[in-house]
Structure 1
């Protein structure tokens, strides 16, 4: 082999070299400088984190998350939520699509404000309807990038055989009008300001096996029982638990602006993180508080994720703190 051929063999591959075997020392810089990326949000200069006040650590706040003025800028490390679907379930307002998306935009702008530089936002969403189909995941992705979030990717949540599949066949066994029956939802994943966070002095808790499995873009896990949890659209504790362990360090702060039945709070406690959550419906806030209390007393999450609190460590009891604020009630 001559010197020229040797140099060619050592040359870095480019992103356009799809199918190239053993793409070691891959150089994607040219791809990300292309026109395809020219109009998308860019990483921004680093800004220092701020501390979340002690009285908001492990707090469930009965208030509208369109204003999270209790929370300082850059004091939350991860947001995990599943917005209400606005499809005439008992706890939803009857909003137009435009009004619904405006509500979400207000909440996610506040989320952007309170996240640290490099903090992540993970949104579980199901698309709805058939006449026509409403791709809420697409609408939310557009909202998030217009705010300035950097999209990291998406996970397909395959709800498996236990999914409550709609029996709206359309035209049964006929090409007249067959209807697709969803057995999946989306988890949209974004970052604020930058993709990375400094790991110095911080402790990871994820195992090698879980990291290898959870960085795949399809997760298969069963749904949560609405009757068991006492909420019309709960997600399993396992879902936020995976996101928390994958995207945060021990003792980080997790926000859920639509707390619902409290699954995100439980996932935070079981992984040695702290939570702050908002819920506007008193009955669901009370149900979340009951689930949290039960976990603190018994270790039972009422869901699919096993408890993971370290031996000898007691999670902070949200009912023992003074959570009063000027414009909201805390539970």
Structure 2
């Protein structure tokens, strides 16, 4: 029997585990699952937790009191720090809203005692250049606020000294004369800290797997390329519909995704299987 809309189903007494290729999915509460993971076993964490701005998740009430939400996220972060290796990267995608613009920064400040903010990346979802525009535009009916065209991607590390593969995550030079003139060995430069990664255009929520907070697979792919470790052990404690694991699979990494909602778990398993089948075809 399906849960009533907006109701939070009780998590299973025992976490359920699924394996698709090199990717492992744990259906259960992330705090419980993190406690069972081996310490210092993860190279890269990429995740987008609930934003606490009233999004309509199936199995999670996205409207806690702010201090309650921040305390909960801090508890999750303690678990993530325990499993992250000394040279690991933690990429946290989060956004506020026009009514709650401080929330991402409040969370980042709370995490200051656990991590170093090595890079702050702006994920640009839509942008206007001159009289042209690019990316997915979501209208906002307001006389006070601007359209929100970006989200935050905080890159945390334990000590702020993690070496990155900036060129693998980079872009070709626009002016090719810069290659020889500046002594570069290849036609690649750092992408910088503003990443334009638009969504594919969709017409309804079914095309986003009925999930209110998905991100394009190119976003976790760029994170993995930037960290630059082959065969990395990847973790997403708020897996959703499996986009981080999909990126890990395509780049030959080993992923673990944790998700409490059974329907999102089913979608993630299907996406991973279909992607494996397409790669083998």
Q: TM-score, normalised by structure 2?
A: 0.75
CA offsets 1:173-194 (integer angstroms, 9 cap, x no match) = xxxxx32221111110110245
Cα distance in 1 for partners of 2:52, 2:278 equals 34
**Counterpart pick for 2:192 among 216, 230, 246:** 216
Residues 109-258 of structure 1 correspond to what in structure 2 (within 5 A)?
Answer: 109-130=78-99, 133-146=100-113, 148-160=114-126, 161-170=134-143, 178-193=144-159, 195-196=161-162, 206=168, 209=171, 212=188, 215-224=191-200, 225=202, 226-230=205-209, 231-258=211-238
Cα distance in 2 for partners of 1:214, 1:282 equals 39
**Counterpart pick for 1:102 among 59, 67, 71:** 71
Change in CA separation of 1:206 and 1:81 when aligned onto 2, cut-off 3 Å? same
Q: CA deviation at 1:276?
A: 0.6
Q: Could you say which structure has the larger radius of gyration?
A: 1
CA offsets 1:90-139 (integer angstroms, 9 cap, x no match) = 21313111111122111111110000002110011111132xx3322202
Cα distance in 1 for partners of 2:120, 2:170 equals 21
1:59 maps to 2:59: no
Change in CA separation of 1:204 and 1:165 when aligned onto 2, cut-off 3 Å? closer
Kept after mapping to 2: 8 A contact 1:214/1:242: no
Cα distance in 2 for partners of 1:214, 1:280 equals 37
Q: CA deviation at 1:223?
A: 1.9
- SS state at 2:85 partner: strand
Highest RCO, 1 vs 2 (Cα 8 Å, sep ≥ 6): 2
Q: CA deviation at 1:168?
A: 2.2
Residue 284 of structure 1 aligns with which residue? 264
Kept after mapping to 2: 8 A contact 1:265/1:277: yes
Change in CA separation of 1:257 and 1:207 when aligned onto 2, cut-off 3 Å? closer
Cα distance in 1 for partners of 2:236, 2:153 equals 14
Q: Which runs of 5+ in 2 are unaligned?
A: 1-18, 127-133, 173-186
**Counterpart pick for 1:80 among 27, 35, 46:** 46
Q: Which runs of 5+ in 1 are unaligned?
A: 1-54, 171-177, 300-311, 315-331
Kept after mapping to 2: 8 A contact 1:229/1:261: no
- SS state at 1:69 partner: helix
Residue 26 of structure 1 aligns with which residue? none
Cα distance in 2 for partners of 1:123, 1:240 equals 10
**RMSD (Å), alpha carbons:** 2.7
Change in CA separation of 1:255 and 1:188 when aligned onto 2, cut-off 3 Å? same
Kept after mapping to 2: 8 A contact 1:205/1:250: no
Matched residues, number: 233
- SS state at 1:296 partner: helix
- SS state at 1:254 partner: strand
CA offsets 1:165-222 (integer angstroms, 9 cap, x no match) = 342222xxxxxxx32221111110110245236x9xxx99937647955540111121
- SS state at 1:255 partner: strand
